[in-house]
Structure 1
Amino acid sequence: MSITPAARPGRDRRPSLLAVLDAVDRAPGAAALRARSYELLGVAVGTRLLDVGCGGGLAVAEAGALGAFAAGVDRDEQMITEARRRHQGHAFSVAEATALPYEDGAWDAYRADKVLHELPDPGAALAEAYRVLAPGGRAVLTGQDWDTCVLDAEDGALTRTIVHARADLVTGPRVARRFRGLLLDHGFDEVEVEVSTAVLTDAHRLPLVTGLAESAVRTGAVTPAQAAAWTADQTERAATNRFFLAIPFFTASGTRGR
């Protein structure tokens, strides 16, 4: 689950982002989705794996436990500092996904989980992925399509407006539906796409959707009165065990040609 709060002007969002990423890593199905990425990458003893946008470093540590030589990069210095603190013995570096500090063919596996939607040019990141992968190396991309958020709600039209308003705050809200095309465009073979869906029904997930309404008000997509009515409906559903939120995650994989 990766619906994150919108950044507020004048405030440093990084500490809250790390907390959100930790919560995402603990969300239902998250561990299985990470494990599937390692399987698609063929992680085994000696695999050289690069995790791009590594956040707090959990995937690097998990891949390392499978015997891989795993390293992580993230553009956020605070994330890298925390990753080094949490997972000593692994390599972490500050770097942009579009300018990786590695030689051509340095890695057997490339992983980017919930990363490409943050980039203004995801194609440049895929070009870098192809460059740093050895011939026959594998790339796996995972992410949500921010326009595709399924909520049970009384007012369907208002719900679509709120969901799309939040999506429009993301740099690349629909990049996940482009994963297959991006891999093909940048020379990858054996491209496949899978989908898994996080289904959230617990009442304590309510802040995730009330945050959507708050974002929609800030963008002017809905009025405060509309947001209040929509939030009241969601609050009632949570109180009566009728809360329902489903988010599809797309995982695309491809092989660098030999």
Structure 2
Amino acid sequence: MPDAAAGTPLHIITLVKWVPDAQLERRFTEERHIDRSEGVLGELDEHPLEAALRIKEAAEDREVRVTALTMGPSGAAAAAKKALQIGADDAFVLTDDALAGADISATSTALRAAIERVQEVSELDGELLVVTGMASEDGESGAVPAQLAERLGVHLLSQATSVELAEGRLVVTRTATVEQQTVSAALPAVVSVTDQANDPRYPNFKAIMAAKKKPLTELSLTSVGIGPTSVKPRAQVLTADPRPPRHGGTVITDEGDAGVQIVDFLQKERVL
């Protein structure tokens, strides 16, 4: 059957995030926000980007544009640049002082406005697909895709382990509690992709050099049409203390009663 969407342009907006480097100790700022002075493109966000690029490569009869969109401090542009090196066609960075400490509600509100603004400036009159990771590696809530789909008023397909377009519909495979499901929805839609969906590609030297010529646009809350009060966090961190140092474990010397000592220790810790 011919694809009902053949010839219709498709805009895939992939959300990526600049997260603290997992190899470094996590710290909080004086304002009790996560210190993001040293960050990287989140590994979980490489999977949705790979899914978007594969959809583009499989589309032979329609124009497909892959846009990377990130929200964060000025340093978040590094995540957008990495997405361009991997293969995104263009990128946008939403950065504003009012977004510091944004919770999931504020994040989904800001991203909804940013996505609508990106659509306006792209002038690509076609269908929309928003692709996200399964969760961010700092907040790890996994709730933003659902909130974003609700704010955009589009379908949500979550926790996808495979993604494709077939006959004009988005088709995904997802793993439920005890079964594997195949579900589909018409576009526009939001889909969250797990780390089991694919093996992300690595940028080669040619791609890295080509990324320098790709457009990277910075957005602010004003430019996307919302004010600071719209992104005021509903949840706030009241206190933040460093993790206490680890203490040495209990050493048991076996003098014929090691088993008894282990049982006594486990009982004391209420494990048994």
**Rg larger for:** 2
User: Which structure's residues are more often helix, by fraction?
Assistant: 1
Asked if these proteins are the same fold (TM beyond 0.5), I'd say no
Bucket of the pairwise TM-score, normalised by the shorter protein: 0.3 to 0.5
TM-score by length of 2: 0.33
TM-score by length of 1: 0.34
Q: RCO (CA 8 Å, sep 6+): is it higher in 1 or 2?
A: 2
